[in-house]
Structure formats: C-alpha cells, structure tokens
Chains A and B, each alone.
Chain A
Amino acid sequence: METITLSSLIPIFPELFLAISAMLLLVIGVLKGNSSTRLISWGSVIAFAIALLIMTKGGIDTEPALNNMFVQTSFTFFMKLLVMAGLITSITLSVQYLYQDNIIRFEYPLLALFSGIGMMLMISANDMLSLYMGLELQSLSLYVLAAIHRDHIKSAESGMKYFILGAISSGMLLFGISLIYGFTGSTNFELIGTTLANELSLGAVIGFVFILAALAFKISAVPFHMWTPDVYEGAPTSVTALFALVPKIAAFALIIRLLFIPFASLHDQWFQIMWLLAFLSMAVGAFAGLRQNNIKRLIAYSSIGNIGYALIGLVAGGEAGLSAVMVYLTLYMVMTAGIFGIILCMRRDGYGVTDISDLAGLSRNTPWLAYPLAIFMFSISGIPPLAGFFSKYLIFQAAIESGLYTLAVIGVLTSVVASYYYLRIIKTMFFDEPDDKFDSTIESSRKLIIGLSLFVVVGFIFNPSPLIEISANAVRGLF
C-alpha cells in the first residue's frame, strides 16, 4: 500500500473539489432552507466551472491515483468535459423551471452535483470497485431527482420505476463483477485485461455479459430501454433534460473504456452483442416514436434511436469509429440542450404543456422559438447542412470503413423512418393553425443556451475540424 501524497491526488482534484463544494452547499442549504435554491443552483454551476478549470490545469496522462483505481487520460478528460458542460447546462436550464413549477428544493441542484461527481468517478474508474461506487452515486442521485416532484403522481411513479429497474441492473452489474473477480482474481482493469487475454474462461464471459447488460440499461439500448419513455415523460421536464443530456454520455464512456481495456480480448463476443443492440435500438427508436403524442416521450424514443447510431461507431471500433462516437455524442448533447431549452418554454397559463399538438402554429405566434426548434429537428434527423448530418456522416463512414454494410444500410433506412416524427414537429409548428401563445417570461440564461446550441448546429459546417481533431486525440488516449 503506497501512501497518499497530495501530488498523487492531482488527477482526482476536480472530483475532490466538487465533493467539498457539494458539502459546503449542503450546509448552506440546510441552514437557509429552500429559499436558498437559486443560490445553490448558481453555486453548483460555479463549482462545475471551477472544477473544469482545475481539470484543465491538472492535465492528462498523469499517474493513476488512489492505488490505481482512478486514471485521467485524454479520453476521460474529454468525456468529463462533456459531462460537466452538460450538467452546467441542465442546472442552468432548471432554475427558472423549479420556481415556475413550485419545486423549490435546495436538494435539486445538490443532487445534480452529486450525480455529476458519480459520473466523473465512473468515467475515470480503473477498477471494478471504483466503477461501482461512481455508478451508484450517480444512479441514486438520479432516482431521487426523478421523483423530486413528490406530490405529483407521475413524477413519483417515474422515480419508482427508475429506481426498481435501476436497482436490478445494479444487481446484475455486481453479480457480473463478482464473477469476473472470481475467474480472473482481480478487480483492476488492466489486470483483468491481461488475465483474460491469456486465458478465456466461460465464467468470465458470463460475468462480462451481465456487466454489459447492466450498462446497456444505463444507456437505454434496446432491449433494456423500457424505463426510458416512462421516466422521461413522468419526471419534471428539467430533470428529463438532465437525463437526456448527461448520464448516457457517462455510461457510454464507461462502456467504451470497459470494452477496450479489460475486455478487449473478448472482442468477438461483444461485437455480436453490440451489433444487435445497435440494430434493435435504431429500429425501436425509429418505429416506436412514430405514434407518440407527448414530446418528452418522443425525445425518449429519439434518444434510444440515437444511442443506436452511436453504438454503430462503437461496433466499428478503431480510432475512426470511436472518435465518430464522441463527435456524435457531443453534437447530440448540443442539440438536446437546445431542444430542451425550447421544451421548457412550452407553458400556458402558468402550467407546462408537453403535447406535440401544443406546438401548433408556433411559427406564427412565437417564431423565435419555432425556427430554432425546426432547425434542431432537421439537424437531428440528419439533414445537411446542419451539424446532425455530419455526426451521422462520421458514424456511417466508420461503419463502411470496417465493412459493416448491413448495419450502415439499416442505419440510414431507420433514419428516414425517424425523420418522419421529427418532421411532424415541424409540421405542427409551421403548417397548423396557431393555438394560444405560450407564456413569454423566459430567463436570458435559457435564451443563451438555445442560442449557443443553435450557433453550433448551424455553424458546424464552416469549421468542423476542431471537434473532430479533439475527439481523435482523445481516442488515442484510450489505446
């Protein structure tokens, strides 16, 4: 056992800082009560911003910390960057919503903060134990968040569903980890990797499949997607935004690290599983979304489909495939941030509305919401010249490079099917007769987020290289 020195903790500084800030903010919250919700929200945003700075200063490829349980590479750096950006965005988006819907609880931003710490730990985990701790920290915080509107029956229901199914998946994860430990004698990623490369036992494969199933649940890949539409619909909209923006990215990062570090030698096994997950997710995401009338449910199916596309990149593997995944996830997050920024503005007479038909005629009475949403919708269905086209382009390019022709053809065909429901939203806003206007009190921070994501979605075509190069760079840190 080596002794812990301050310098050996450098890679984990951002997480430590966030944990300390979370405790301090918690104390403030307990002392000042729910009236401090706004203060704590902005406090959490600032904490994330400072943690971002600390992480940038700390650099990458440092020595592993905490007895080789925690690593920081260019890959984890990039993914944590996304997670923090996503959390900053979703907390910012939520502040006004909490007050409007009277969910004024200081726990809200704190739970988001804790879940963020969990996600960051899980991305950087280099050991099954630290993985599990990070994963549980984020899951438990998110269960509570889903049910935070506890007087509201749908919110309570969605929290309950999420918790029960999530608990089952955690159980599977633990079971898988124990099998892996039993058959390889280690919980450390690298040691598992070398052991499995030398000798592949059936027990380890079974354990691996359990782990994979649990993580497929976290990214809501079909057939482990059942919870997603209900939780997305039932949770308060700002929480849905958080769910759509962040946890899947963290879980995806974890899957990538697991598949390419400890389980790299099981490539033949996971290749088939992931192929099937990608195919099913794209198909279900496209077809099940066709008949949805609630925009939150629709986005849930859309996110299932989009995970399917990201999985194509994962199946393709290699530098091209994985950097395509990262570009895809980044741009997906940007688009989702904009979309939820707009969904959160859908309020009439002080109440949030979430039916697609509520958007009727939006282009005529609130064009400045309708046009961005239409652009996001065209983008997410992959129509050039918007950013969504390029993220799909990279994914399909990776697929074709690795000879996954079937998956690529299925992918483009399902994207045509899915474009139908995105078009439906545009049709409702532009072709239908106007409904009553939405309430017009919208915080400037939300406008800023919509504006920023619009800028990225439209402007990506002019200079796509930086993101692609950063992603490619990050992926090199993985191998």
Chain B
Amino acid sequence: MINFSILSLLTFLPLVGVVFILLTRGNEERVTRNSRRVALYTTIFNFILSIYMLVNFDGTSADFQFVEKTEWFPALGLSYSMGIDGISLFFVILSTFLTPICLLASWHSIKTRVKEYMIAFLVLETFMIGTFCALDIVLFYVFFESVLIPMFIIIGVWGGPRRVYSSYKFFLYTLLGSVLMLLAIIWLGMNVGTDIPTIIEANSIPFHVQLWLWLAFFASFAVKMPMWPVHTWLPDAHVEAPTAGSVILAGVLLKMGGYGFLRFSLPMFPEASEYFAPMIMWMSVIAIIYTSLVALVQEDMKKLIAYSSVAHMGFVTLGLFTMTTQGVEGGIFQMLSHGIISAALFLCVGVVYDRLHTRDIARYGGLVKNMPKYATVFMIFMLGSVGLPGTSGFVGEFLTLMGAFQVNTIIAVFATTGVVLGAAYMLVLYRRVIFGEQKNKDAAAMPDLTKIEYGYLVPLVLIVLWLGIAPSYVMDKVAPSVEKLIGQYEAGLTISKGGK
C-alpha cells in the first residue's frame, strides 16, 4: 500500500509545474523552451506516479482506496475528501496519460504564447484529475466546473477562425447544464450530506424528489457527454480548438459526463434512473443513428470525428442505463477506449493539419503514397473506431450491445445499425484521405511522421491493440466496483418497493 496522499499529489503536482513555469525568466525564446520542457516533465512524472498508483491499486476490492479526508469548510460540513475505486481509477490514468501526449502534439504546432498554453494545460490536468478523485459532491463540483476556465482559454486563444463563437458556446452551454446540478448538489448537501459514499449508503431520498434531482444532474451530464439533442456545442468546439484541445475534450472531458452518471445518477437516484432509463436508451439510439448519418456527409475531418464521438457516447449511455453487468462494464470500457481512439484520431488529423493547414477532406487524397507510416497508424485507429475485433473499440461496443439485448431487443437492434453506419463513415473518411489519386501537389509533398509524432502515436497504437486483445487487465479491476454499483442500485430499488 501507499502511505502518502497520492491522490492529492497527483492532482496538485501539475500546479507545482505551473509555479516553475511562472518562475522562468529570460528572453522569450528561452522562456518558451523552458516552459515546454517543464510542462512535459511534470506531466510525464505525473503519469509515472499514476502508474505507481495503478500497480498498488487493490483490484479485488470494490471500496474506495487511497482515501484522504480533511476538514475544509466545517461551517458547512464540507470536507476535502478524495478516493478512487475501480470506476474512477482508469479515468485518472487516462487523464495523466493524455496530457503529456497533448503537450507533445503541440510541441511545434503551438508557436504563440507557449508559456500561457503550458500553464493552461497543467491547470486543466489538475482539475481533471480532481474531478475523478473527489469524494465530496461540492468538491467534485468545484473541480468539474473549474475545467471550463482553462478550456475556454485554450479554445479561444489558440483556436481556429471561429474560436470566439465556439468558446462562448462551449462555456455557456456547459455552465447552463451545471448550475442546475449545483442546486441539486446543494439540496443533497442540506438534506443528506455531501460525502458521496454516505449519500449512496443512506439511500433515503423519496421518489418524487429523486426525479427532480436526477433531472438536474442529467442536465449537466447530458450536456457534458454530450447526448443528442444537446450535443451541438461539441462539433463547434472540436473544429475550432487546437489539436491538443480537441484531444483533451474528446479524451477526458466528455467522460466526465459518463462518470457523473455512474457516480451520482445511478447509485444515488436508483428509482429515478429506472424511471428514466427507457428515455435515455431511446435518446442514445437516436444519437447513434442520427449523428452517424450526420457524420457521413461531413467535409471537415474534425467535424466528422466530433459527430462520431457523439455516436460513440451514445453507446456509453445505452450501456450504462441497461444496468446489467455487461452493459455498465461495456459503457466504462467504451469510454476508455473512445478516450484513446478519438484522441488518437484527432492527433492524426492534427498531423496533416500541421502540414497543410486545412481539415477539408477533399484537399487530401492518396496519402498512402507519400505517408505510408501515417496511413498505417491512421488505419489502426480507424479500425478501432469502427469496432473491429482485436481493437479496444470492439470490446466496448460488443458489451454494451450485449447488455442492451438483455433489456430491450428493439433498441439493441437499432443500436446495432449504428455499428454499420460507423464503419461506413470511417471507411469513407479513410478512403478519401489515404487512398485515391493524389489530386493536390502540396498534399502529395507532405513528409511522413516525425519522431515526435511517432513518440505520441505509437503508445496509443499499442494501447488500442492491447486493450482489444487483453481487456481483462482493465476489466478485472473495474468489475468489483461495477458489481457493487449494481448491488447498490438494486438495493435502492428493493428498499423503496418494499416500503411502498
């Protein structure tokens, strides 16, 4: 076991990096170089630390581990309490893993205000890890909502031509969802408590209140996921954000919504979840089919991947609200796998965007001739996104659909068509970019992957394949917590039914 506060260390270590960056002095070139390095070393060290945590994590236990608790706001009963279980464990790892990759991906593409950029990413990492570790709802909200600040700046300062519009839309949309959740959190704090495990154990909220609270939490998480029909901020944000911004957005921020459903909606409001589950599942199916169709006709590479994200997150919500073991495990796995694959796809877009400065699919073509290595890497991620067996994408989709079939066959059938559509748009994208004739000279003259690009793409390839071939390493650690979650959910249902 680890006998120091590893979660706090993980969370706040990036801020130490910020302090060092702020202390760098000298001419601009030197500050730029130093801040890049400091940020990278900090995040890599943080990643290593998180691996150390993973190794020490007791995969057989469903309890919260590495728990820390100190008083923070005694007058209001709030405490600084952190801890992780099998559900949050891999989201923390995902955050620490993707942040250094993002910094590498922006090594050359970000040339202006590098110092501020690095600070924004480090601060973002702190808030992301904090969100997944917080065990006090108010603390959770503080981290969850703080994420908006660095992300707003990242999109707005280093984004594309319509960055201002997109950053506003991102900020206001997400804020609107979250403030309603804040009221629900306050209600919970007043009436039940703010400690997450205590609220779940107490299980004492009457049904009609559950409905309201569930809806308030839903407003926030549905926007964050994003679920159809509140997904419209996502394509805008993705298109305008710099590559690394898109990576973090797709890789981690969207998962906060799914994590929220798992941590709050399902165990705290089981009856309301059961009540709303058909609605959610239908919304998920609509999301899967509708956004897949939309993705088919996109001409902008990033927009296409953004819509595909919405479709993939549809599988997640579908799986979670089946409340079967396979469905929930599949949903979690799908989130992790999508976190890696969509991040990788955005990085792949970034690679060609850095060379040609356009995301227009029609401007590319025949890249296999001049960028064979790129074509190979892109193919693996494309197949992962399609859900080919042997990649991580397959496991998640398969499990969620298996869960869905147990609950509602019609929904499952419709959702399965989404897999076909997913294959369609990804293959079309791949064919148009990689194969075909080389129409444009500038696209034909692009050099293949650089060393840095290798550096961040190869680990992703390995993980996609590893998770696809041997998902059990992750699944074994997730399973006890999922069992516990389902147990709590069912206990909540039986207690209330017995009481009626």
Residues of A at under 8 Å CB distance from B?
363-364, 378, 383-385, 389, 393-394, 396-397, 400-401, 405, 408-409, 412-413, 415-416, 419-420, 423, 426-427, 430-431, 461, 464-465, 468-469, 472
Contacts and interface: CB of A to CB of B under 8 A. Distances in A.
Contacts of B172: 416, 419-420, 423
A405 B157 CA distance: 38
Interface residues of B, number: 34
12 contacts: A384-B142, A400-B187, A401-B190, A412-B182, A416-B179, A427-B156, A427-B167, A431-B157, A431-B163, A465-B74, A468-B76, A469-B75
Nearest to A378: B149
Given A383-B146, A384-B142, A397 B175 contact: no
B168 A420 contact: yes
Interface string B47-80: 0000000000000000000000000011110000
B189 A397 contact: yes
Contacts of A385: 142-143, 146
A393 B138 CA distance: 10
Contacts of B75: 464-465, 468-469, 472
Contacts of A401: 190
B240 to A, nearest CB: 11
B157 to A, nearest CB: 6
A426 B167 CA distance: 11
B163 A400 contact: no
Nearest to B185: A393
A405 B180 CA distance: 11
A432 to B, nearest CB: 9
Given A400-B190, A415-B179, 6 more contacts: A364-B113, A385-B142, A408-B183, A412-B179, A420-B172, A468-B75
Contacts of B163: 431
B434 interface: no
Interface string B70-94: 0001111000000000000000000
Contact of B73 (A396, A409, A464): A464
Contacts of A431: 156-157, 163-164, 167
B14 to A, nearest CB: 14
Given A427-B167, A465-B74, A469-B75, A412 B146 contact: no
A364 B28 CA distance: 13
B141 interface: yes
A384 B189 contact: no
B430 interface: no
Contacts of A400: 183, 186-187, 190
A394 B76 CA distance: 9
A423 B168 contact: yes
A103 to B, nearest CB: 38
Nearest to A431: B156
Contacts of B176: 413, 416
B356 interface: no
B153 interface: yes
B316 interface: no
Given A412-B180, A465-B73, A430 B189 contact: no
Contacts of A416: 172, 175-176, 179
A357 to B, nearest CB: 14
Contacts of A464: 73, 75
B500 to A, nearest CB: 26
A405 B209 CA distance: 13
A428 B171 CA distance: 16
Given A383-B148, A415-B179, A397 B167 contact: no
A393 B186 contact: yes
A379 to B, nearest CB: 10
Interface string B150-165: 0011001100000110
A468 B179 CA distance: 22
The 4 closest A-B pairs by CB, nearest first: A412-B179, A384-B142, A468-B75, A431-B156
Contacts of B156: 427, 430-431
B175 A419 contact: yes
A11 B189 CA distance: 40
B76 A423 contact: no
B145 interface: yes
Given A412-B183, A416-B172, A419-B172, A397 B141 contact: no
A30 to B, nearest CB: 50
B374 to A, nearest CB: 32
Contacts of B145: 383-384, 389
B129 to A, nearest CB: 14
